Amino acid sequence: MTVHVVLNYELYYIDYSKYHLPIFMIDVRPYNIVCESKNTIMFFIENPRTNIELVSGFFEFYFSTTPNTNTHGQVVSKSLITFRTSIRTIDSFDQGCYEYTPCILFTKGLCLEEMLIYLPPQELSFLKELRFFCKGFENGSCHLCCFDKKNIVNLHDNRFDHKCCMDCILKWGDTCPFCRASIV
């Protein structure tokens, strides 16, 4: 996995392999990233987990005085976690498919040493959604909540037409809410 970091218009590609951990502690010392007195940083990580599409951050920080080479410091901010969902609309940010988490930059002197990015706890409910993601969705009415939705799926792929929206089926369980048979 690659972490893309832009500091003061300089682009760095940082390799990171511990994407399964709930906290990313990214060591950037080998890349010799040197800050200035006023800094703008942007970073993004694409697809770190199956249910997370993007981790990104953009913020500015500055040093009021030039630190000594042995002075340790930290910059605390937030990163934006964008989740992968079955609904792809312009209004998807209003539907709660993002979250803010803490992000801390550690410095030594003017050098960036490490980046600490917190990720939300990994829930396994997204695995159920992945089962239906490949089948495709259709527009229609959910037979459980009776609302018109764009993410309707036929639970058994048969003629019985047990159709339900992803919101309802993710809340339900591993059996069909209509016939109690196991879901494909």
**What pLDDT does 95 receive?**
56
Overall pTM > 0.85: no
Alpha-carbon span 73 to 19, nearest angstrom: 25
pLDDT, tens only, 60-81? 999 999 999 999 999 999 999 9
DSSP-assigned states of every residue in 48-113:
EETTEEEEEEEEEEE-SSPPPTT-EEEEEEEEEEEE--S---GGGGGGT-EEEEEEEEEEETTEEE
Six-digit token string for 111: 């050098």
Helix-then-strand count for the chain, H and E:
2, 11
Work out the number of other CB atoms within 10 angstroms of the CB of residue 117. 23
State how far Cα 84 lies from the chain centre.
7
- Give me the pLDDT at residue 80, please: 93
β 72-83/2-7 pair status: unpaired
Q: What is the pLDDT of residue 50?
A: 75
What per-residue confidence (pLDDT) applies to 10? 96
Query: What pLDDT does 38 receive?
Result: 96
Over residues 156-180, the pLDDT tens digits come to 777 778 888 888 887 877 788 888 8
Non-local CB neighbours of 181 within 8 Å, separated by 6+ positions: 156, 175
* Residue ranges in the chain whose pLDDT is less than 50: 90, 92, 94
Residue 158 DSSP SS3: coil
